Amino acid sequence: MTAPAHVHAAPPQSFLRKYVFSVDHKVIGRQYLDLALVAVVTGMVLSWIMRFHLGFPDTAIPGLGKVAPTGAAGGVITPEYYLELMTMHGTIMVFFVLTTAPFAGFGNYVLPLQVGAEDMAFPRINMMSFWVTLLAFLVLVAAFFIGDGPPLSGWTAYAPLSAVGKDAGPGQGMGQTLWAFSIAIFCIAQLLGALNFIATTLDLRTRGMSLARLPYSTWAWFITAVIALIAFAVLMPACILLILDRVAGTSFFIPAGLVLSDRLQPHAGGSPLLWQHLFWFFGHPEVYVAILPGFGIVSHILPVFTRKPLLGPRVFIACLIAIAFLSYTVWGHHMFLSGMNPFSATLFSVPTLVITIPATIITLLWIGTIYGGRLRFTAASLFALGFVSVFVSGGISGFFLAQPSTDIYLHGTYFVVAHFHFVMGVAAMFGIFAGTYFWFPKLFGRFMNETLGKWHFWLTLIGVYCIFMPMHYLGLAGNVRRYSAFTDDYLKPLIPLHRFITIAALFTGAVQLIFLFNLFRSRFRGAKAPDNPWEATTLEWSTSSPPPVDNFGGRHPVVTHGPNEYGVNDGRGRDYIMQAAD
């Protein structure tokens, strides 16, 4: 905190300082992205195992019996192991993919460039934030190898199951403790990161970069950082209380008279609902931490590829701010089924419906931006368009969940699974893909292969719709979520649909190999890219690709224009004006 960014007089020399313990925001951003890549592959493999079991409950998965001798003896997974996989899948995806990639990863790499700074405000704190995130990840994954496996209480870790320890089931001993520590550590890392994002945006803007001229992606990261700062500041003490309940015998979340595994638990007076309140006070804002960077990326990319200014830039920013505020008033909509009185349910339902207004306005701004534009179809712009599609598809189901009367039926079903995978999972992933195809030339000075990129887009788009659209139907048919098998009579007719979804999921997973191949190949073999290949206006494109250690090679760019100057006549035959023209 006490050492603001200093001028990098000489670039760091040693390998360690340059690539590993680097304070350069660009290296840190890439480290975050690499971590997210490892995490997303892990999370996806877990989801394949789950999906396979749901579609083909009696078929053994070759080799799985060796990896998990207790959880999947003979290759067929047990219900407990299913829950363990589900918990790890959700936790890894929400925290280590959807938070680290779009927010910490791209934000770190691009934000300082876009405001014209040499680095983040506190480079050493920034470095620490990455290493602490990595530590959190390792602690979480350790649950696979230590004790009796990962926890099974879901990514929301509802008490009292998550608070009592071993008696609550396999993985609820050491595994759940590791989970709680991991998340607490993760909170620290994200708080450090958010601090840097905010201070850098406020204080390190270059000459001429007024707030009104901030690129929309930077606006989104900035507002996301403000949301994250408050959300993680609440989750962290909640995790501390959870850890104390688990290891120190306190009773914050554990009520009296709880009998588990035939043993009366030695706790009294705690409130399981208290955990839900604390968790969702964090949890709902967290879903915006996952998605708002995607909003920013899409709003940044659409003007570039439609050659039109973003429609209503000020409205867009006002809507982001409105979402940030409202996101703290709606957490109870995750708790309609908790025995909450109908009056409180209404109090949470109304702001939930209100928050759809700014989200809808933003969607309309995007559509208005596309309308009449001269669209250039690239992998990046396709994923940005795809983002709009899946976000709308997922958002619509939110209206049904926002009303207690319908949510009471839908809450425990696949309808919710469909909702949040579209609106958060797939949408945020599309934002990540769009950002990857878009900024890859800046990161490495080379293009990703466009043909492969387009195949990747179309097959993924079809795949995700095949996976998640039918889940709405499953939910309406009463198919409960978090079950490992559907043996009840009323569920049996749904098994063919599950099989279809499983095949779609395996297919979509395989399609991602195209992306991985493209990513690694283009890094070394991709076509060479100029500094500003997409003819964009913002500052990251007015430096070399990749940028030098101090970003602008000793220059301090002077910003003369806003980020939105597309479709103009610059007097020299170009239809855009860069923010730091000349």
Partner 1 sequence: MAAVMPPPPLTTRPTATVTEAPRAQPGRTGMWIAIATISMSFAALTSAMVVRQSGAPDWRHFHLPSILYANTAVLLISSLTLEWARRRSAAALSVTLGLGLLFVAGQITAWRELSAQGLFLATAASSSFFYVFTALHGLHVMGGLGAVGYLLQRRLVAGRVAPTTFAATALYWHFMAVLWLYLLVLLVARV
Can you give the binding site for partner 1, defined by CB under 8 A? 1-5, 121-122, 191, 194-195, 198-200, 202-210, 229-230, 233-234, 236-238, 240-241, 244, 248-252, 255-256, 268-271, 273-274, 277-278, 281, 308, 371-375, 558-561, 565, 567-571, 575, 577, 581
Burial class (CB in 10 A: 0-12, 13-18, 19+), 142: middle
List binders of ligand HEM among 406-435 (CB under 6 A): 407, 410-411, 416, 419-420, 423-424
CB within 8 A of 407, min separation 6: which ones?
333, 336, 337, 400, 401
The span of 133-141, 181-189, 400-408, 454-462 binding ligand HEM (CB under 6 A) equals 400-408
Burial class (CB in 10 A: 0-12, 13-18, 19+), 290: buried
For partner 1, the closer of residues 60 and 375 by Cβ is 375
Task: Choose from partner 1, Cu ion, ligand HEM, none: what does 229 bind? Cβ within 5-8 Å by kind.
Answer: partner 1
For partner 1, the closer of residues 82 and 279 by Cβ is 279
Whole-angstrom Cα distance, residue 238 to residue 489?
A: 41
Which residues sit opposite 528 in a β-bridge?
446
List binders of ligand HEM among 228-287 (CB under 6 A): 287
Question: Which of 398, 526, 533, 562 is in the footprint of ligand HEM by CB under 6 A?
Answer: 398
Using rule CB under 6 A, residue 401 touches ligand HEM = yes
For ligand HEM, the closer of residues 287 and 429 by Cβ is 287
Other CB atoms within a 10 A radius of the CB of residue 188 amount to 17
For ligand HEM, the closer of residues 399 and 458 by Cβ is 399
Please work out the total of residues on this chain that contact Cu ion, with binding judged by CB under 5 A.
1
DSSP state of 448: P
Least separation in angstroms between CB 334 and ligand HEM: 5
Peptide bond into 546 cis (omega under 30): yes
Residue nearest to ligand HEM (CB): 398
Query: How many alpha carbons fall within 13 Å on the CB side of residue 272?
Result: 17
Using rule CB under 6 A, residue 156 touches ligand HEM = yes
Task: Choose from ligand HEM, partner 1, Cu ion, none: what does 122 bind? Cβ within 5-8 Å by kind.
Answer: partner 1
Question: Which of 51, 284, 419, 446 is in the footprint of Cu ion by CB under 5 A?
Answer: 284
Whole-angstrom Cα distance, residue 265 to residue 272?
A: 14
For Cu ion, the closer of residues 416 and 559 by Cβ is 416
For ligand HEM, the closer of residues 348 and 457 by Cβ is 348
Characterize the bridge pairing of strands 259-260 and 263-264: antiparallel
Other CB atoms within a 10 A radius of the CB of residue 20 amount to 12
Task: Choose from partner 1, ligand HEM, Cu ion, none: what does 248 bind? Cβ within 5-8 Å by kind.
Answer: partner 1
Least separation in angstroms between CB 232 and partner 1: 8
Q: What are the structure tokens assigned to 403, written together?
A: 């009303």
Please work out the total of residues on this chain that contact ligand HEM, with binding judged by CB under 6 A.
22
Task: Choose from Cu ion, partner 1, ligand HEM, none: what does 184 bind? Cβ within 5-8 Å by kind.
Answer: none
Which residues sit opposite 566 in a β-bridge?
576
Using rule CB under 6 A, residue 53 touches ligand HEM = no
Using rule CB under 6 A, residue 402 touches ligand HEM = yes
Residues in the chain: 582
Query: 552-567 in b/e burial notation, b at 16+ Cβ within 10 A?
Result: beeeebebebbbbbbe
Using rule CB under 6 A, residue 356 touches ligand HEM = yes
Is residue 387 a contact partner of residue 437, using CB atoms and an 8 Å limit?
Answer: no
Report H helices in 414-532. Answer: 414-420, 427-444, 450-476, 495-525
Q: What are the structure tokens assigned to 276, written together?
A: 């839900």
Whole-angstrom Cα distance, residue 95 to residue 156?
A: 11
DSSP 324-337: HHHTTS-GGGG-GG
The span of 13-21, 245-253, 403-411, 458-466 binding ligand HEM (CB under 6 A) equals 403-411
Whole-angstrom Cα distance, residue 481 to residue 156?
A: 14
Least separation in angstroms between CB 395 and ligand HEM: 4
For partner 1, the closer of residues 143 and 191 by Cβ is 191
Binding site for ligand HEM (CB under 6 A): 156, 287, 290-291, 333-334, 352, 356, 359, 395, 398-399, 401-402, 407, 410-411, 416, 419-420, 423-424
Binding site for Cu ion (CB under 5 A): 284
